[in-house]
């Protein structure tokens, strides 16, 4: 494998890069809608020990994030699990301005000599001592009316990453409509959830699904916010509409509590 191809795959999953042209042609014909959405890559590194964790984190901190920032990426969030069952996984959220930006980085990242030098230990890890066990990668498209990632104030806080899986594409679209057109996102903002991003998974596992991230000062704040959400009159009004019943639109919810690394840009 040529080095450029290898480095490219270390940033963006091969599947996403391969399918990207198909996604581009599948976008709406409305130019404004198609070009205004951000895209996010959500990566999950599975690790077996602290040696792998250090190798991945050193690569992200010293090589990958600086390279992505030089390429115009504003925010790269890196998180570990708050309550891991064994060796923590590493979650990485990378913000792209649009699909063109995503594709440009995919095509050119291998030319970054500083990345190749500072990331050599990760990029050239031998097969018998790999840098990680597996990478799971998803490409997300931001929601209408929530088109931009909002990085919260830099201070001690926890993050909740939530994925809503649906039984069908139609149900998934209906749930997104509930967030956007029916004002569910506005409830989160009004109640102080500090939402970071909202995205529909266009490439990745367990589709159809949507994923979003909110943040809290601590666990007590998290519990208080969700209690307030459940009792909110506007939420009760929206969720009482028969066509928006969770039983119809959501087949599974996965909630993961995360803490940012010291070098995370989210």
> For residue range 144-164, what is the model confidence (pLDDT) as tens digits?
888 899 998 888 899 999 999
Domain end: 78, 108, 141, which one?
A: 141
Cβ atoms of 199 and 179 closer than 8 Å:
no
Residues above pLDDT 70, as percent of the chain: 87
Asked if the model's pLDDT at residue 22 lies above 90, the reply is no
Say if residue 1's pLDDT is above 70: no
Q: For residue 68, what pLDDT band results from cuts at 50, 70 and 90?
A: very high
Quick one: 26 and 127 in the same domain? yes
Q: Are residues 23 and 121 in the same domain?
A: yes
Neighbours of 66 (CB within 10 A): 17
**Share of residues in the chain with pLDDT > 90 (%):** 80
Q: How confident is the model at residue 4 (pLDDT cuts 50, 70, 90)?
A: very low
Predicted confidence at residue 106, as pLDDT, reads: 87
- CATH number of the domain that residue 162 is part of: 3.30.70.100
Is residue 146 assigned to a domain?
no
Residue 77 maps to a domain = yes
Residue 143 has pLDDT above 50, yes or no: yes
Q: pLDDT higher for 98 or 20?
A: 98
For the record, the structure tokens of 211 come out as: 């994923």
137 shares its domain with 164: no
Residue 117 CB neighbours (<10 A): 11
Query: Half-sphere exposure of residue 21, counting CA atoms within 13 Å on the CB side?
Result: 2
pLDDT (tens digit per residue) in 176-214: 999 999 999 999 999 999 999 999 999 999 999 999 999
Determine the Cα angle at 19 with ends 110 and 65, to 5°. Answer: 35
> Which pLDDT score, from 0 to 100, does residue 34 have?
43
Q: Report the 10 Å Cβ neighbour count for 25.
A: 7
Is there a domain that residue 91 lies in?
yes
In a shared domain, residues 167 and 60? no
Whether 188 and 118 map to the same domain: the answer is no
Selected residue with higher pLDDT from 11 and 227: 227
Which range of residues forms the domain containing residue 87?
3-141
Structural domain contains residue 208: yes
Are 40 and 133 found together in one domain? yes
Residues 9 and 136 both lie in one domain = yes
Q: Answer whether residue 98 is part of any domain.
A: yes
pTM for the whole structure: 0.86
- The H-or-E segment that residue 33 falls in is helix 31-36
Mean per-residue pLDDT over the chain, rounded: 88
**The token pair that represents 162 in the structure block:** 């939530």
Confidence at residue 259, expressed as pLDDT on a 0 to 100 scale: 98
Same-domain status, 102 and 170:
no
**pLDDT of residue 12 exceeding 60:** no
Specify the number of domains making up the chain: 2
Looking at the structure, tell me whether residues 21 and 78 fall in a common domain. yes
> Last residue of a domain, which of 141, 167, 184?
141
Question: Are residue 12 and residue 137 in the same domain, yes or no?
Answer: yes
**Residue 148 has what DSSP assignment?**
S
Contact, 49 vs 112, CB < 8 A?
no
* Domain presence at residue 266: no
Structure token pair of residue 108: 């050119």
User: Do residue 75 and residue 132 come from a single domain?
Assistant: yes
Q: Do the Cβ atoms of 66 and 265 come closer than 8 Å?
A: no
């Amino acid at each position: 494998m040529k080095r450029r191809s290898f480095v490219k795959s270390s940033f963006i999953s091969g599947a996403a890069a391969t399918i990207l042209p198909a996604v581009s042609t599948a976008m709406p014909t409305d130019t404004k809608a198609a070009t205004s959405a951000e895209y996010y890559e959500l990566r999950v590194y599975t690790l077996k020990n602290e040696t792998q964790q250090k190798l991945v984190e050193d690569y992200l901190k010293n090589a990958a994030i600086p390279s992505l920032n030089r390429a115009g990426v504003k925010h790269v969030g890196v998180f570990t699990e708050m309550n891991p069952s064994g060796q923590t996984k590493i979650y990485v959220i990378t913000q792209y301005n649009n699909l063109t930006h995503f594709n440009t980085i995919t095509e050119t990242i291998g030319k970054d000599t500083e990345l190749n030098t500072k990331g050599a230990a990760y990029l050239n890890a031998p097969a018998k001592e790999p840098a990680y066990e597996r990478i799971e990668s998803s490409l997300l498209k931001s929601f209408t009316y929530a088109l931009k990632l909002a990085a919260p104030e830099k201070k001690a806080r926890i993050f909740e990453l939530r994925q809503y899986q649906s039984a069908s594409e139609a149900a998934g679209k209906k749930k997104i409509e509930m967030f956007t057109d029916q004002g569910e996102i506005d409830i989160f903002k009004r109640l102080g959830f500090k939402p970071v991003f909202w995205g529909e998974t266009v490439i990745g596992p367990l589709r159809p699904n949507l994923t979003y991230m909110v943040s809290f000062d601590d666990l007590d704040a998290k519990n208080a916010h969700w209690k307030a959400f459940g009792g909110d009159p506007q939420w009760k009004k929206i969720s009482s509409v028969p066509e928006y019943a969770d039983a119809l639109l959501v087949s599974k919810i996965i909630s993961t509590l995360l803490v940012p690394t010291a070098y995370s840009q989210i």
